[in-house]
Structure 1
């Protein structure tokens, strides 16, 4: 049986699409597995009052790794599928936008919309995976509990002013630039015609390696927020001074948000027309 050309193209397109989903899914699973491992390790340290505590179980990192790749691995794969699907859609939209000239503005808006959706999904997934590591629940239940935790404790007021993500991103970019610059300069004096290629490749590799370290730090910060919202006494037993700083900062943010809401409400009431009583 001889396939017609359109049929062959459709099969090839479906194959490339499946490979793209698989690529993004694998990357998300690996990253989220590291996230769950670090979150479980942080929870063990907090619940036992410190890494040097007598009640600390032996080999906590190995226990967290075993839990992440066995009990929680199904939830990790299930949650990572959403991010992989959205990234694949964005990749397809960008490919179509580069090939056509009509409705490019519409495709750009759709791409931006999926970018916002991906950002929101990754944001809530990040905290849902901490719930998976701490409570051992399914992904759907963990995501729902994380959302309810934000609504009930107001911890999002503190997370909104957290600049650790921006600092870690700057470190990743800086690490890539330093690696690419040093390698490019060295290649320029040895093989001048390959300096740009080697420098750009080294910069990418440097950003990836620094990014792996950044994931560990970001996961630890996220775990501390969730553990503080779940049970503030965990942070208090671990570091009383840090607990006081977090509590004071959260209290200030909640007070500011409450006063800001009152100002907006009073401003709207002042602009209402005065109605005479009948």
Structure 2
């Protein structure tokens, strides 16, 4: 029987059991040229296969297949069954009742034609967006540094435009606020400009891993389709609960949803959305990890590593994904409640605003923890809490707390998604003019509406692919912190590029 991918990765990480543990070497800056050969700090970075943190191994090891955090997976599945019952048991009945009450369920042929035209337009523009996104990966690979620089410049230009626009309209307060934000963005750009080469190297490596395993992108679109189906099912469940908790007088019905039903429905929405998103994140981490440690198992468009990683994410690690996702979902639910309460203007607006800000901050902290924890879940199969603890210990031992807080790549990917959306909007506008698909729905002079609709479609499809890239970048950073020697052996050209750029950007940490 051939060894599993987890065991093979473990062997590559840990080597023979007879190898002794060592302690993490201290990295000091001396008068010696940090970029030249013979630098002990840099040499030690890749020389030691079994470094340690606090007496324990710095390198993680692949865990034996086991269902981890299983109670959370069971709770999630039961909750999905309840939502399905509410949707198809109560929601369908509610829609049938509405069909009988409104126009006796009659839909004209004209309505069907106008709707079908828009659907065809959205379908073809979404396909075009996928094609444009695929081309953008190639462009980013060769021009990553320029794109990151452009994202910072574009942010400053956009804020400058808003400052001028608000001041010209006499909205002085808004103009001053955006001016302050512009100055802060300029200072941020000045501070991080020297780190752009390292961020570009990370992005280039992540893109290389994704392009080698292009099937993971198609899997991402499949998961996104599932997420859209979930939104429809959830809406149907919400309609069903509203219908059951409504009262009708003389044919007029009013919903009387109680607070508990609303809270549970909101929690269900956020929890499932987070689970779907994190399943993809864990899957991408597993694929990129295999590419890093065992490239022979991850060298085709639809390599076995893709389905192996996806199957682990939806079985053994599914409980861990549900656990971390529930933490974020609870915070997001409380944030939603606080936001809606503040908008009701019941006299406690200031306190609710403060509470909303605190909950938003907690949500960002939880998402930040999940982002790194799920990389370890995807790589090694740890349970949720152990994975988060180990990956943060790794960064602390390396002294990389500054490195992992950079968001340069995220800014770059947002810019790319907006550009893809703009191109898609323009193509959709031309397609609508040529076919007349949008005329029946939005009228003759509909260029602006069609452009906006296709822009939203394009950005949505691009963001799916950019999410895969971000997950790959996170995995690259963790793997580079933990196993640079394997990277040098399996991908020497990419390794050389990353080492060169990181030495320039982070002379103190690297």
The TM tier, using the shorter chain, reads 0.7 to 0.9
Shift of 1:154: 2.1
**Pairing 1:104–2:356 present:** no
Q: 1:202 to 1:92 in 2, by over 3 A?
A: farther
- Corresponding residue to 2:336 among 74, 83, 91: 91
How far the C-alpha of 1:193 sits from its partner, in A, is 7.7
Instruction: Considering fraction of residues, name the structure with more helix.
Output: 1
Q: Choose between structure 1 and 2 for higher RCO, CA contacts under 8 A separated by at least 6 residues.
A: 2
Select between 60-69 and 150-159 the one with higher mean Cα deviation: 150-159
CA 1:232–1:24 in structure 2 vs 1: closer, same or farther (change >3 Å)? Answer: same
Equivalent residue of 1:213, what SS?
helix
Q: Could you tell me which of 153, 156, 160 is aligned with 2:401?
A: 156
Are positions 1:36 and 2:288 aligned together?
A: no
- Number of aligned residue pairs: give it: 250
Q: Distance in 2 between matches of 1:92 and 1:181?
A: 39
Give the greater-gyration-radius structure (CA): 2
Helix, strand or coil at the partner of 2:316: coil
1:24 corresponds in structure 2 to 270
- TM-score normalised to structure 1 length: 0.77
Q: Is 1:206 aligned to residue 451 of structure 2?
A: no
Query: In the alignment, is residue 241 of structure 1 matched against residue 493 of structure 2?
Result: yes
CA offset digits 1:123-149 (Å, max 9, x no partner): 121110010011111001001111111
Post-superposition offset of 1:11: 6.1
Alignment of 1:107-126 (within 5 A): 107-126=352-371
3-state DSSP class of the match of 1:156?
coil
TM-score, length of structure 2 as denominator length: 0.44
Q: Distance in 2 between matches of 1:93 and 1:182?
A: 41
Shift of 1:45: 1.2
CA contact 1:132–1:142 (8 Å) conserved in 2:
yes
Task: For residue 201 of structure 1, report the CA deviation from its aligned partner.
Answer: 4.6
SS for the counterpart of 1:137 is: coil
The superposition leaves residues 62-81 of structure 1 with CA deviations (integer Å, 9 ceiling, x where unpaired) of 11111111111110111111
Distance in 2 (alpha carbons) for counterparts of 1:226 and 1:199? 40
Unaligned runs of 5+ in 2: 1-244, 248-254
Structure 1 contact 39–133 (Cα < 8 Å) conserved: yes
The alignment yields a C-alpha RMSD, in angstroms, of 3.2
In structure 1, what is the Cα distance between the partners aligned to 2:358 and 2:477? 28
Q: Which moved more, 1:179-188 or 1:213-222?
A: 179-188
